Amino acid sequence: MQSLHSLATRGATRPISLRLAPCYIEQLKARALTVSGSLTGVARELILTGLAGGDNKALAERLMHIERRLAALEGLAREVNEAAQHIDSVSCDLRGKFDALLQALSSAEGCT
């Protein structure tokens, strides 16, 4: 499915005029400065996003869902890390016991 933006840039474009309160124009300027874009470009992207069905509430809900999933993944990663540390500790203990047993058997063979 083609995005609305690609469809808009394909054909001929026409200018439109919008009247906005000065406070909204300042917000657009601030956003344009933040993203290193032009006032017109930011306004165009906001309009196209709105026409494509993107709204702030849906975006906020998606972000909250992502945040919850990240929190769950962080918990799982913490559990996996703890399990890996436990396995490492157990393997070090086993290696120490194996080395001690090997040394004891080697010294016992040398005595006979």
What pTM was computed for the model? 0.42
Which residues form the domain of 48?
18-54
Q: Which of 1-5, 55-59, 85-89 has the lowest mean pLDDT?
A: 1-5
Please answer whether residues 36 and 27 qualify as being in contact, where contact means their C-beta atoms are separated by less than 8 angstroms. Answer: no
Judge if 28 and 61 occupy the same domain.
no
Radius of gyration of the chain (CA): 32
Q: What is the pLDDT of residue 84?
A: 97
What single-letter DSSP state applies at residue 107?
A: H
Q: Is residue 111 a part of any domain in this protein?
A: yes
What is the number of structural domains in the chain?
Answer: 2
Q: What is the pLDDT of residue 1?
A: 36
Cβ burial of 4 (10 Å; 0-12, 13-18, 19+) is: middle
Angle at 6 between CA 47 and CA 9, to 5 degrees: 80
Please answer whether residues 89 and 97 qualify as being in contact, where contact means their C-beta atoms are separated by less than 8 angstroms. Answer: no
Q: Is residue 9 a part of any domain in this protein?
A: no
